[in-house]
């Protein structure tokens, strides 16, 4: 039926219109294809070159086919830096950060939403101000302070501040308004539930979609964080992946064994891309949601 409709529409068009239409479609798709190519080619190159020797890459840099040096590259890379360790470190920092940011973000947002207390409004406005003026600009003072506390070269400066993740709090506070009816909280109280219990049993589940949205960005941001990690972490066994990657710029490896460097890059990229593709449907809407409200 539908096919017939299209076919009959098509039939109504003159030849000229039809060929014009084809031309427009073709050029649009070619344009989009080109853009896709630009977006994706670096990924493909990284993946392919991760399996080729440094020599092969230098000799024929444009060859887009896999080689057989994956294993050798892996050994070179591991010889240079314990990338598994970096992976574990990055995962630890990102997961704890995301969890803290999610839990305390929800707790704070819920606190602002569910209770009337003196200073509620001014405090919230205060927070919004720092949404605009990023406190991380003061990283020198932060670094010096952490150094005085002896917290340099620990994960604490990277993780604990996430308890006060302003963006998450702001978003969830606005989100709560739409999803948690205050009457529901009242009736829970009448049933004799404790406040913290109500937060856990009603607040958190209701906020969950919002929490998930913000957690995705917290996670990606934390996984990719370079500057703060660069300043705070000294010992290589604490390095996160971006630090290890940046360290690959050194010496012989950079010149002679680009394959190993590409492999290192691939290792930082693949998990996050997989994560994204698996959850992509959900994520794309989150990107929009996270900002429209933000």
Partner 1 sequence: MGKKKSTVESKRAKYGYMFVAPMLIVFIVFSIYPILYTLYLSFTNFGGFLDPEWVGFDNYRRVLFQDPTFWESLVNTIRIWGINIVIQVGLAFVLIMVFSDLKYKIKGLRVFRILFYLPNLIAAASVALIFRLMLNTDYGLLNTFLLRINLISDSIRWLDGTMLAQISVANIQTWMWFGNSFILFMAAVQAVNKEVIESSVIDGAGRIQMMRHVKLPLIKPILIYVGVTSLIGGLQLFDVPYLITDGRGAPSGSLRTVIVYLFNQAFTYNNFGYASAIAFVLFIIVMIVSGLFVLIMKREDVRNFLDARKRKKAKL
Partner 2 sequence: MKKLFAFLSVAVLTFSLAACGGGNELNDDIMDDPDIDYSEETLTIWSFTDELQVQGDVEYFEEQYTAEGKEYEGMEIEYVEIPTADYLTTILPTLRTGSGAPDVFTGELDMLLNFMEGGYLANLEEMMKADEDVDFDETKDDFVDFIWEAGQDTQDETLRSLSWQVTPGGIFFKTDMAEAVWGSESGFPSDNTADDYNQQVSDWVAAEKFDTLQGLIDASEEVKNHDANWRLFPNDDAIRWFSQQSDTPESWLAEDGLINADRLENEEVYMEAVADLYSEDLDDSLTANVGEWSGAWYQGMGKSFDSADGTTFQTMAYSMPTWGLFDVLEPSIELVDDNGDTCVEDDMTDEEYEACEPKGNWGVASGPNSYFWGGTYLNIYQGSELKEPSYDFVKSMLFDTDRMSERAENGDVYARKSIMDEVTADYEGNPVLGGMNHYEFFVDEADKISLDYITNYDRTLDQIMGDAVNDYKQGEVDTKDEAFSDFYQELRSAYPELYRSEGLPYQD
Residues 140-159 that bind partner 2 (CB under 8 A): 143, 145, 147-154
The binder of partner 2 chosen from 231, 269, 272, 289 (CB under 8 A):
231
Nearest CA among 257, 275, 268, 259 for reference residue 217: 275
What do you get for the CA distance between the two ends of the chain, in Å? 45
The binder of partner 1 chosen from 15, 137, 190, 192 (CB under 8 A):
137
Q: How many CB atoms are closer than 10 A to CB 251?
A: 9
181 binds, among partner 1, partner 2, none (CB under 5 to 8 A by kind): none
Q: Does 52 bind partner 2 (CB under 8 A)?
A: no
Q: How far is CA 52 from CA 68, 129, 259, 264, in A?
A: 6, 50, 6, 13
Q: Does 250 bind partner 2 (CB under 8 A)?
A: yes
The binder of partner 1 chosen from 39, 125, 183, 251 (CB under 8 A):
39
Angle at 78 between CA 248 and CA 229, to 5 degrees: 50
Whole-number Å distance between alpha carbons of 264 and 240: 12
> Which residues, 68 to 97, sit near partner 2 by CB under 8 A?
80
> Which residues, 185 to 244, sit near partner 1 by CB under 8 A?
195, 199, 220, 223-227, 241-243
From the list 7-15, 77-85, 108-116, 175-183, the region that binds partner 1 by CB under 8 A is 108-116
Question: Dihedral (C-alpha) 228, 229, 233, 235: value to the nearest 10 degrees?
Answer: -160
Q: How far is the CB of 142 from partner 2 (least distance, A)?
A: 12
Q: Which two tokens stand for residue 63?
A: 């060859």
The binder of partner 1 chosen from 52, 80, 94, 112 (CB under 8 A):
112
Of 178 and 236, which has the nearer Cβ to partner 2?
236
Q: How far is the CB of 116 from partner 1 (least distance, A)?
A: 5
Q: Does 119 bind partner 2 (CB under 8 A)?
A: no
Contact 207, 172 (CB under 8 A): yes
Whole-number Å distance between alpha carbons of 63 and 51: 12
Does residue 60 sit in helix, strand or coil?
coil
Whole-number Å distance between alpha carbons of 201 and 181: 14
Of 250 and 288, which has the nearer Cβ to partner 2?
250
Of 151 and 269, which has the nearer Cβ to partner 2?
151
Tell me which residues touch partner 2 (CB under 8 A): 58, 80, 143, 145, 147-154, 231, 233-238, 246-247, 249-252, 255
């Amino acid at each position: 039926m539908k096919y017939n409709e299209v076919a009959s529409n098509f039939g109504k068009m003159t030849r000229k219109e039809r060929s014009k239409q084809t031309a427009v479609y073709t050029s649009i798709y070619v344009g989009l294809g080109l853009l896709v190519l630009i977006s994706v080619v670096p990924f493909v190159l990284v993946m392919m070159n991760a399996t080729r020797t440094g020599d092969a890459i230098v000799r024929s840099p444009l060859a887009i086919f896999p080689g057989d040096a994956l294993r050798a590259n892996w050994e070179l890379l591991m010889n240079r830096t314990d990338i598994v360790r970096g992976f574990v470190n990055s995962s630890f920092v990102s997961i704890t950060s995301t969890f803290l940011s999610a839990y305390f973000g929800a707790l704070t947002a819920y606190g602002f939403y569910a209770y009337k207390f003196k200073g509620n409004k001014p405090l919230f406005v205060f927070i919004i101000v720092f949404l605009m003026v990023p406190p991380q600009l003061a990283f020198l003072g932060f670094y010096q302070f952490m150094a005085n506390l002896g917290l340099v070269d620990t994960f604490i400066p990277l993780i604990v501040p996430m308890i006060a993740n302003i963006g998450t709090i702001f978003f969830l506070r606005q989100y709560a308004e739409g999803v948690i009816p205050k009457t529901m909280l009242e009736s829970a109280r009448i049933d004799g539930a404790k406040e913290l219990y109500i937060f856990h049993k009603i607040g958190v589940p209701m906020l969950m979609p919002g929490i998930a949205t913000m957690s995705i960005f917290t996670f990606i941001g934390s996984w990719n964080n370079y500057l703060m990690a660069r300043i705070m972490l000294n010992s290589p066994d604490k390095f996160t992946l971006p630090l290890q990657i940046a360290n690959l710029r050194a010496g012989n490896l950079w010149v002679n064994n680009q394959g190993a460097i590409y492999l290192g890059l691939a290792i930082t990229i693949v998990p996050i891309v997989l994560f994204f593709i698996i959850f992509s449907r959900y994520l794309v809407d989150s990107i929009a949601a996270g900002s429209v409200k933000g």
